[in-house]
Amino acid sequence: MDTKEEYETKDFDTSIVYEFSEYPDVRSGRCDNCDYTLFKSSVKGGKFLRECRRCGMKKNI
C-alpha cells in the first residue's frame, strides 16, 4: 500500500515565507500552491504565520 499522498502543486518554493501583501490568496482561504484548506497558524514577532498542512507553504498574513 502506498502511503504517500499524491496531489498537484504549482511549484512554489516552500522554504520561503511569502508576504500576503505581495502574494494575496488566489482563492480566499486556500493554499496557493496545492489548493488545500487546512493550515497551522502561529504568531511570532507580531506577525501571523499561516502554514499549509499538506505542502508546507508559509505566508505572513
pLDDT at 7: 87
- The answer to whether the pTM exceeds 0.75 is yes
The percent of residues in the chain predicted with pLDDT above 90, rounded, is: 85
Find cell 502554514 and name the residue: 51
Residues 10-54 have pLDDT tens digits of 999 999 999 999 999 999 999 999 999 999 999 988 999 999 999
| C-alpha–C-alpha distance, residues 61 and 47, integer Å | 7
8 A C-beta contact, residue 39 and residue 52: yes
